[in-house]
Amino acid sequence: MGPDDLLLLLTHHWARDTHTYPIEDQRLTVAAIMLMAVYTGCRLGELTDASKGRAAYKDPLQGQDDVKYEGQEPWEDLDDTDYIEDDDGIMDKEGIEDDHGIDSLSRRYKVLCYEDIRLWIVQNPKQGERDLLAMEVTLSHHKGANWKLKPCVTPSLLQSVLS
């Protein structure tokens, strides 16, 4: 996938797409995710919640080669738990405003949050032109970030340490 593909997809997404989203806010989200993904090369698990352990989403594509996206959309299925609010996930909003409250808040999902993004207004290096916007994004939840360090001891190494 290259720049031309991206441009084609985004143009289709904004101008020609006849599919609907559960709410059209999601159209912006999808476009933003696509841009973040191509500009960082991150895995989608860093931007979206790919954790398991909930009712699996029924992929309408499974076992079908020629799919038509005309049937029921996944969010119309009342049994799909993906579209239900997680009660245990509601953040405790009391006491946020005090100095210590912020530390007690924890991230519920290992995805990109607002604190990972730093938006800057920067003076234009070219004199007389308008200020520029810049954005720093820190990605820290990549695959393998949680792997524990496992010292591996080969027989020859063990021998050299013991000797």
Partner 1 sequence: MRYSFLIAICPKLTCVYRTTFLFREEALPILCPISHILALAIRDDAFKLDGLTSAEPFFTTNLQPPMKAMKVHWKLSMLKAPIFRQVVRSADGLQTSEHKALRYSTFAYYFDRLGWGAGFPEKLTSYCMRRGTGNAVDGLLYSPLLCIYTYIRLGATTTAVRDQIMRHDPNSGIFNAAYLNEKVRFDVQAAFLERPSNDGLTRAFTHMSITCNPCAPTNVPEEVMDALPPDPDIVYLEKQQEDLFKTIQKKYGFLNRAKGTESGKKY
Neighbour tally for 38: CB within 10 Å: 15
Residue 49 as a binder of partner 1 (CB under 8 A): the answer is yes
Distance CA 111, CA 144 (A): 14
In whole angstroms, how close is the CB of 139 to partner 1 at the nearest point? 5
In whole angstroms, how close is the CB of 159 to partner 1 at the nearest point? 10
Q: How far lies 109's CA from each of 5, 50, 76, 91, 146, in Å?
A: 31, 9, 25, 12, 14
Tokens of 163: 């000797």
Within 9-28, which residues bind partner 1 (CB under 8 A)?
9-14, 16-19, 21-23, 25-26, 28
Contacts with partner 1, 84-103, as mask; x by CB under 8 A: xxx--xxx-x--xx---xx-
Asked if 13 and 30 touch (Cβ cutoff 8 Å), the reply is: yes
Residue 7 as a binder of partner 1 (CB under 8 A): the answer is yes
Residue 32 as a binder of partner 1 (CB under 8 A): the answer is yes
- Indicate which single residue of 53, 61, 64, 72 sits in contact with partner 1 (rule: CB under 8 A): 61
Residue 55 as a binder of partner 1 (CB under 8 A): the answer is no
In whole angstroms, how close is the CB of 36 to partner 1 at the nearest point? 6
Distance CA 36, CA 47 (A): 8
Distance CA 27, CA 14 (A): 8
Within 132-161, which residues bind partner 1 (CB under 8 A)?
132-140, 142-145, 149, 151-153, 157, 160-161
With tokens 């720093």, the residue in question is 136
Tokens of 30: 């999808």
- Indicate which single residue of 82, 100, 126, 155 sits in contact with partner 1 (rule: CB under 8 A): 82
